[in-house]
Structure 1
Amino acid sequence: MKQRYRKLGVMMAVVLSLHTPIYGKEKEAVTTTYTLSQAIEEGLKNTSALKVKDWEIEKARDQSANVSAQAQGAQMMLTYTSVVVYEKEMELRRQADYYSREASIRVEMARKEKKLEEIKIKKDIKDAYGNVVQGWERLQSQQGKVDLGKNQLKAMELKEELGMVTATSVTEAWMSLMKEEVALQEARMQYETAFMELNGLTGRPLYEMDRMLQKMDVSLAVEIPNVEEMMEQAKIRRGDLYSAKALYDSKQSEYGSAKELGERKYGIHEYRDELNKIENEQIELEYRYETLERQIKIGLEKAYTGIEMAKRQVEMMQQNLEDTEKRYEQMKIRHELGQLSDLQLEEGTLMLQSARIQYQSALHSYNSALDQYFYLAGVEGVEILAGK
């Protein structure tokens, strides 16, 4: 019988040897904490996406300067030209008016898109950081289950020697322990995968990262702005929506100017084709704006629903945690009275730890849902909740 258990032990050792932590030998103790603010700071510093956005801003500024120069030249031509056909005058006025406004719009759009990219980077790092925190806690919890399984196996082996249980019970304890050992390796791999994801977002080498133990507190008492309020924020802060509306408004202004010019200086038949062209462009820009506005609103509505669902999950896990804490206190009393064994109390400890992890995981999901909602509107949560 002992020989069979040793064979099972060899099998478990083989399973455990298939995986080695990516950061080498595990640290004995953590001396410093790699905080969320550090991760965000490094992510913003090391990402190439923001450098690309800076280049796009400079490019838009250069284009705006060139267009302004061309517009000034066109204005001078209008000033010193005594006779000009309608089509030529419209072309010159476009250079002096619409294209100049369009260039300014694109500069502002580039700035807003950079801000949106910053918000996205912060959101992604915060989410990845939370995954590492959750992964570490699950890893610790699973390690506790393995330790409990080992103690239960020893107890079964002792009972078998005393004739209190059969060999089948011992084998079942072995198999249960093996299952927990495999789950431990899976938890470790998930933890390290989260670590690698965070590494990709921050650029910090894995071997320089300490384990993350910083908690991210989330309050459910915060009043979340409704979808309509967030849409108003999106119109101001999102570069794509802002530029779509601004270009549409600019084209409307161009149409009005063209119509006034034609009615004042030319006959209706001479400028009708040009007006139709501008009107068609205006309709296309209006369609683009309304389509984008509708897509963003749908995304916000889905995100708001996600927040409500995540909030209910947090409330359920909070109630479960409170109930588990009460049961655990009762188990401690029964243990002191000798009604429960050490192993049974250890099971209760793991049960409580699991309830805490589930609650923290629900909070993390709620926090991620909030960040996604704010991101879709082009704002950071701290800004909108502070009324900025």
Structure 2
Amino acid sequence: MTDTNLTSDVSAQPPQALHSAPMLCWFTASAALTVPQATAPVAFSLVALSILGDARLGAAMVLAMTLAQVVGAIPITRMGRGKPIASFLRILVLLRSAALAGIVLGLYAGAPFAALVTLAALAGLVNGATYGYLRALLNTLTSASRMPRALGIAATLNEVTFVLGPVLASGLGAVSPALAVAAMAVLGSLPALVISGDASMPAAPETHTTGRLVTPEILLWLTCAGAGGATIAAIEIGAVALALQFSFDPTMAILFTVPLCVASVLGGIWISIRNRASSPRAVVVQLALFSLGIGMTALSGALVPTILGAVLAGLMLAPLGTHYALVLDALAQPHRRAELFALLRTANAGGVIVTSAFLTLLPLNMALAAVAACMLVTTGVVALRTVRRGAA
């Protein structure tokens, strides 16, 4: 059973201090890696509006990018076996930027919308693998004792990216949708420029695969990550509908998204300061509070409890995300670590897809309640497992 003494295999190289140049480069790469995902909803909506006159059709490009990530996560990650981690990561990042640059060129050339959707899918195809290799790279840079703090800082920067990304896309998109997508391509390519050179970076071992990648224990935590992704997506995607439900203008969706993001940043800061993995019982409490947060948002019917629910869910996001990463780090076979981290990011994307389907097919409150039920069931399974392990 994994506990507060979670450990993982790290490189034999001397661990880098969190303020060292290699670690600062890694943090920069981690924050920049998610720029395309953070800016895509706004940027692609503006692209669809400029071509088809309907911003809602931008969701087709976002969906194509997300589905492609799910499809490509494991196959593309496996292609990197036996290759230097940093070198292969650069290739993936540059391929994604090339696909995004293709969208920019397509806009200027008057390409059909279907071609732009295809390019968005090509950009998304490597998203899972890029995260997997970037996260595996962290194991070569820092020690297990510093890992919670490093992951907390990364989670905080990730939330800042998701707060500022839509603002940047809106500002540039007001000038030109192509400019917004160009910014996605340029900023999203930063990891290829700042990752440390290959001289000191170990190659991902090319070994024969033995055993299953996903064990029941790993599946449990991937399911938790997927349920968490669904929960956060329910608030973010449903924010406009929530604003309308309370008789506000659609722009007042920020009443729900901003508190969620601020709380997520605070949760990441707390993890960074604490620099400790959560105990099994603490994880159950965090999951319960996470479930309570989405439950309040789904069922309260009043503005203040709905906002407080979003805050509660946001506060738990970074602690739980850090725990999932640490647990999977400890459970992963060293030569398949990048694959497992790619699956972790893909599980989160799967949660977003499920939530999108719920919000499309069901009334708002029913969709939110369905997500809350999924989170509650997941919490119950983890709680039961913890009780059984404690009694053993």
When normalised by structure 2's length, the TM-score is 0.24
Highest RCO, 1 vs 2 (Cα 8 Å, sep ≥ 6): 2
- Higher-Rg member (1/2): 1
